[in-house]
C-alpha cells in the first residue's frame, strides 16, 4: 500500500487573505518553505471548528496554486465553496487566524518531460487547481487549452483568470447563461479525433471524470483526473475514500483517494464499481 506523501508536515498556517469571489472564497495561507514541495494536484487537510468543535475530522481542500512573495514568503491559494459546516467555518475566518494544517498530501499531476498538447477540463470550482497546473505546463513549452463547465454561469470560477492562463478557453453551462449551452465533454471527441490533444488533465464531479474516461477509451490520449471523493481523514487511516482501481493483472484493488490519489489514471478507475464493493478475486 502507498504511504503518505513523504513531504507532508503538520504545522500552523496563517490566513493572510480571505476574499469572496462570486460564490466561492479565495483563501491564501502563509506556509513558509513547505510551499516548494506543493505541486498541482496535491491537497491540504485543515482542522476546522476551533478547539471546542464537534467537527473532529479535518477537511481536505485542493491546492489551487502556490507563490513566494517578499511580504509573506511561501503561500498557498485555496478556492473554497461554503457548502458544509467545515467549509463554512473556514470561509468565516479572518486574516491573521492560525490554522492547524497538514500538507502537501496526495499525488500530484504528472508533468510531461517534453512539450505536448494539453487539455485542461474543469467542472465548477473544481477547476481552480488547473490554473496553477496551466502555468507549470506552459513553462515547459506545452500548448494548453482549457474547457470549463458548470450547471450555471455563477458556478464558473474566475473565467477571466482562466483565459489569461491558457492558449484558448471555452466555457460551457447547462443553462446557457455563460459561454455555450452544453457540457464540457461536448467538443472533446472532435478535438481528440483531429489530434489536437495528447493528454487531458481534469478536476471536477465524478460523473464528468467518468464521461471523459469513456471518451478517451479508444484513443491514445492519456487522462489524468483528480478524483472527487470525500476524504474524512486525508492521511489514509479511515478508508472512507476508497475507489476501485484495475490492476495490471486484471484484478481490482480498493485504493485510497487521499494516498494513491487524488490524481489517478482515468483508464484504471473502475467507474462502474464506484460506490460498490467488488467481489473478491478467486
How far apart are the C-alpha atoms of 57 and 54, rounded to whole Å?
9
Domains and CATH numbers, the chain: 9-105 (2.40.30.10), 117-226 (3.40.50.80)
Confidence of residue 26 (pLDDT cuts 50, 70, 90): very high
Q: Residue 161 pLDDT > 80, yes or no? A: no
Q: Kindly report the length of the chain.
A: 282
- In percent, the amount of the chain with pLDDT more than 70 equals 96
Q: Residue 236 pLDDT > 70, yes or no? A: yes
With a CB cutoff of 8 Å and minimum separation 6, the contacts of 162 are: 122, 127, 130, 131, 134, 146, 148, 169
CA angle centred on 132, ends 61 and 36, rounded to 5°: 80
Q: Residue 277 pLDDT > 90, yes or no? A: no
Confidence of residue 39 (pLDDT cuts 50, 70, 90): very high
With a CB cutoff of 8 Å and minimum separation 6, the contacts of 269 are: 209, 210, 213, 225, 227, 243, 244, 245, 246
Q: What is the pLDDT of residues 175-188, one digit of tens each?
A: 999 999 999 999 99
Instruction: Evaluate whether 172 touches 182 at the Cβ level (below 8 Å).
Output: yes
Instruction: Evaluate whether 144 touches 115 at the Cβ level (below 8 Å).
Output: no
Decide: helix, strand or coil at residue 36. Answer: helix
Higher-confidence residue of 50 and 181: namely 181
Look at the alpha carbons of 125, 126, 128, 130 in this order and tell me if their dihedral is positive or negative.
negative
Please name which of 55, 45, 53, 65 lies closest in space to residue 106, comparing C-alpha atoms.
45
Count of CB atoms situated within 10 Å of the CB of 276: 9
Q: What is the pLDDT of residues 171-222, one digit of tens each?
A: 999 999 999 999 999 999 999 999 999 999 999 999 999 999 999 998 999 9
What mean pLDDT do residues 17-22 have?
A: 92
Residues β-bridged to residue 29 = 15, 76
What mean pLDDT do residues 234-262 have?
A: 90
Q: Residue 112 pLDDT > 80, yes or no? A: yes
Q: Would you state the cell numbers that stand for residue 223, as one nine-digit string? A: 487522462
Q: Residue 158 pLDDT > 50, yes or no? A: yes
The 8 Å CB, 24+ separation contacts for 67-75 are: 67/35, 68/35, 72/16, 72/28, 72/30, 73/30, 73/32, 73/33, 73/35, 74/30, 74/31, 74/32, 74/33, 74/34, 74/35, 74/36, 75/16, 75/28, 75/29, 75/30, 75/31, 75/35
Q: Residue 129 pLDDT > 60, yes or no? A: yes
What mean pLDDT do residues 161-177 have?
A: 87
pLDDT at 281: 46
| Alpha-carbon dihedral 210, 238, 61, 18, rounded to 10 degrees | 150
Cα-trace Rg, the chain = 18
pLDDT at 16: 97
Average pLDDT, the chain: 91
pLDDT at 282: 41
Amino acid at each position: 500500500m502507498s504511504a503518505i506523501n513523504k513531504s507532508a508536515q503538520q504545522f500552523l498556517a496563517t490566513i493572510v487573505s480571505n476574499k469572496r469571489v462570486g460564490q466561492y472564497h479565495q483563501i491564501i495561507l502563509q506556509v513558509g518553505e513547505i510551499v516548494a514541495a506543493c505541486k498541482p494536484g496535491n491537497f491540504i487537510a485543515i482542522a476546522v471548528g476551533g478547539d471546542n468543535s464537534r467537527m473532529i475530522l479535518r477537511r481536505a481542500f485542493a491546492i489551487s496554486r502556490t507563490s513566494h512573495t517578499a511580504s509573506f514568503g511561501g503561500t498557498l491559494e485555496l478556492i473554497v465553496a461554503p457548502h458544509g459546516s467545515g467549509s463554512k467555518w473556514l470561509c468565516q475566518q479572518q486574516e491573521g487566524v492560525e490554522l492547524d494544517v497538514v500538507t502537501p498530501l496526495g499525488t500530484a499531476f504528472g508533468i510531461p518531460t517534453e512539450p505536448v498538447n494539453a487539455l485542461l477540463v474543469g467542472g465548477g470550482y473544481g477547476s481552480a487547481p488547473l490554473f496553477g497546473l496551466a502555468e507549470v505546463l506552459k513553462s515547459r513549452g506545452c500548448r494548453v487549452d482549457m474547457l470549463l463547465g458548470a450547471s450555471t454561469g455563477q458556478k464558473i470560477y474566475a473565467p477571466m483568470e482562466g483565459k489569461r492562463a491558457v492558449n484558448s478557453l471555452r466555457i460551457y453551462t447547462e443553462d446557457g447563461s455563460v459561454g455555450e449551452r452544453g457540457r464540457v465533454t461536448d467538443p472533446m471527441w472532435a478535438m481528440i479525433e483531429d489530434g489536437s490533444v495528447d493528454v487531458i488533465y481534469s478536476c471536477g464531479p465524478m460523473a464528468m471524470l467518468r464521461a471523459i474516461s469513456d471518451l478517451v477509451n479508444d484513443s491514445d490520449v492519456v487522462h489524468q483526473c483528480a478524483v472527487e471523493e470525500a476524504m474524512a481523514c486525508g492521511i489514509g487511516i479511515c478508508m472512507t475514500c476508497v475507489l476501485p482501481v484495475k490492476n495490471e493483472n486484471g484484478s481490482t484493488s480498493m485504493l485510497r483517494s487521499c494516498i494513491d490519489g487524488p490524481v489517478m489514471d482515468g483508464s484504471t478507475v473502475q467507474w462502474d464499481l464506484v460506490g460498490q464493493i467488488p467481489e473478491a478475486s478467486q
